[in-house]
Amino acid sequence: MNMRTVKDTIMKMLIFLSAFITIGILVWIIGFVVTRGIKHINLAFLFTFPKGDEGGIFPYIMNTLYMILLSLSIATPIGVLAAIYLVEYTNSHPVVKFIVRVIRFATESLAGIPSIIFGLFGMLFFVIILGLSWSLLSGALTLSIMVLPTIIRTTEEALKAVPSSFREASLGLGASKLRTVYKAILPSAIPGILTGVILSVGRVVGETAAVIFTAGSAVNLMKNLSTSGRTLSVHMYILAKEGISFDMAYATATILLIIVFVINLSTNMLAKRLNKAV
Amino acid sequence: MSYQNHVIKDVIKFENSESDTSMEGKEAIVKIAKLDKPNKRRELTEKIIEAIFMLCALTAVICVATITIFIFWEGGPAIFEIGLSNFIMGTEWEPLADIFGILPMILGSLYATALAIAFGVPIGILGAVFLAEIAPVWLQRIVRPAVELLAGIPSVIYGFFGLIIIVPMLSDQFGGAGNSLLAASIIPTVISISETSIRAVPKEYKEGSLAMGASHIQTIFKVIIPSAKSGILAAVILGIGRAIGETMAVILVAGNSPLIPESLTDKVRTLTGNIALEMGYAYGLHQEALFATGVILFVFIMGLNLTLNLVTHKAGE
Which CATH number is B126's domain given? 1.10.3720.10
The answer to whether residues B11 and B138 belong to one domain is: no
The answer to whether residues B28 and B148 belong to one domain is: no
Beta bridge partners, B272, equal none
Cα B282 from Cα B299, distance rounded (Å): 22
Average pLDDT, stretch A106-115? Answer: 88
Q: Which chain B residues are closer than 8 Å to A86 by Cβ? A: 57
The answer to whether residues B285 and B139 belong to one domain is: yes
pLDDT in tens, B64-115: 999 999 999 988 888 888 888 888 787 778 877 778 888 888 888 888 888 8
Would B66 be classed as within a structural domain?
no
Q: With the C-alpha atoms ordered A60, A66, A69, A75, is the resulting torsion angle positive or negative?
A: negative
Would B221 be classed as within a structural domain?
yes
Beta bridge partners, B100, equal B93
Q: Within an 8 Å CB–CB cutoff, is residue B298 touching chain A?
A: yes
pTM of the model: 0.85
List, in order, residues 6 or more apart from A52 with CB less than 8 Å away: none
Would B63 be classed as within a structural domain?
no
Cα B41 from Cα B222, distance rounded (Å): 62
Computed over its alpha carbons, how large is the radius of gyration of chain A?
23
Cα A33 from Cα A259, distance rounded (Å): 14
Average pLDDT, stretch A216-244? Answer: 83
Q: Which chain A residues are closer than 8 Å to B189 by Cβ? A: none
Residue B175, pLDDT score:
42
pLDDT in tens, B170-229: 665 544 455 567 888 888 889 988 988 898 888 889 899 989 988 888 888 889 988 888
List, in order, residues 6 or more apart from A154 with CB less than 8 Å away: A192, A193, A195, A196, A199
Would B149 be classed as within a structural domain?
yes
| Phi, psi values for residue A55, rounded to 5° | 90, -170
Q: Considering its fold, how many domains does chain B have in total?
A: 2
Average pLDDT, stretch A108-131? Answer: 89
Computed over its alpha carbons, how large is the radius of gyration of chain B?
30
Residue A46, pLDDT score:
79
Contact between chains at A206 and B53 (C-beta distance less than 8 A): no
The answer to whether residues B274 and B173 belong to one domain is: yes
The answer to whether residues B194 and B302 belong to one domain is: yes
Would B59 be classed as within a structural domain?
no
Cα B163 from Cα B255, distance rounded (Å): 10
Which of A208, A256, A267 is closest, CB to CB, to B248?
Answer: A208
Q: Is B7 exposed, middle or buried (0-12, 13-18, 19+ CB in 10 A)?
A: middle
Structural domain range at position B15:
2-35
Q: Of all helices (H) and strands (E), which one includes residue B13? A: helix B2-16
Q: Of all helices (H) and strands (E), which one includes residue B53? A: helix B40-82
The residue type at A165: S
CA distance A8 to chain B (A): 6
Q: What is the mean pLDDT of chain B?
A: 81
Q: Within an 8 Å CB–CB cutoff, is residue A105 touching chain B?
A: yes
Would B85 be classed as within a structural domain?
no
Average pLDDT, stretch A220-244? Answer: 83
| Local structure of residue B280 (DSSP, 8 states) | T
Q: Within an 8 Å CB–CB cutoff, is residue A147 touching chain B?
A: no
The interface predicted TM-score (ipTM) is 0.87
Beta bridge partners, B99, equal B94
Q: Give the least confident one: A127-131, A195-199, B86-90, B116-120.
A: B86-90
Q: Within an 8 Å CB–CB cutoff, is residue B59 touching chain A?
A: yes
pLDDT at B262 over 70: yes
Cα B299 from Cα B296, distance rounded (Å): 5
Strand, coil or helix: A68 = helix
Residue B176, pLDDT score:
46
Interface with chain A: mutation pick from B63, B278, B309, highest number of A CBs within 10 Å: B63
List, in order, residues 6 or more apart from B298 with CB less than 8 Å away: A113, A117, B68, B71, B72
Contact between chains at A102 and B135 (C-beta distance less than 8 A): no
